[in-house]
Amino acid sequence: MDTTYVHGYTAPEARRLGDQADTLAGLLHAGTAYPAGSRVLEVGCGVGAQTVHLVARSPGAHLTAVDVSEDSLDQARRRVPGVEFRQADLFALDGEWDHLFVCFVLEHLPEPEKALAHLQTLLRPGGTITVIEGDHGSAFFHPRSEHAQAAIDCLVRLQADAGGDGLLGRRLYPLLADAGFDDVRVEPRTVYADASKPELVTGFTRDTFTAMVEGVGETAVANGLICEADWARGIRDLYRTTREYGAFHYTFFKATARRTPGGAS
């Protein structure tokens, strides 16, 4: 896994990831429950933001969670006691698992195709993989703002510069199908927030999405992608979508697929 994680490893960022996971848990985890006794591997668990929901929804499963960052794992161990957390690079993983869960990981990898090909070798024949990703091209909002769009584009650009793809969600189907998985099914999981859903406006539009964009501001300005005034206006315009007559739309994609039951890949 790459170590140039575009969002950084700061304390506010860890909090953001936790808030995000809590606000979105119902949306992202609906439909994901693993049988008691099944061997489940979470790949790229980070600070354990999703791990806590995996445990809650699959209390009888044997969950192992891995990440490349020891610092993140320390936080994850504090957040979710009782789970086996291990430091490992995705490409160094081995063993045989019934189910893999991979959330907000592929978007940070230079070669998601290769990652999926390797992950497939970790599954028993017929075992499943669940992959969840966002797509920053799905963000649109009212009031419209070119400056807000430019700020989002900076995040996408920085993520691309770091070898990732902030627009990966739309590619989940081709990526999984191309890797040879069977029964690939991709569903949009859409967040839409307006003043009738104040907890979503706060929890998602403000504290998740806008906070995520805001978090790359210094780097974006330092790298010359945008001037400080335009950046400030873009962020201000994102906050404007959280006001009384604003609206915000974002789509996550959740994919499930299966390793060929015969074992061939």
Q: Which residues of this protein are in contact with a copy of itself, per CB under 8 A?
A: 135, 137-138, 140-142, 144, 167, 170-174, 177-178, 184-188, 190, 192, 194-196, 244-247, 249, 251, 253
The least distance separating a copy of itself from the CB of residue 194, rounded to whole angstroms, comes to 4
Q: Which CB atom, from 251 or from 265, has the smaller least distance to a copy of itself? A: 251
Q: Which CB atom, from 34 or from 181, has the smaller least distance to a copy of itself? A: 181
The least distance separating a copy of itself from the CB of residue 190, rounded to whole angstroms, comes to 5
The least distance separating a copy of itself from the CB of residue 171, rounded to whole angstroms, comes to 5
Q: Which CB atom, from 67 or from 135, has the smaller least distance to a copy of itself? A: 135
Q: Which CB atom, from 68 or from 176, has the smaller least distance to a copy of itself? A: 176
The least distance separating a copy of itself from the CB of residue 245, rounded to whole angstroms, comes to 4
Q: What is d(CA 108, CA 118) in angstroms, rounded to the nearest whole number?
A: 16
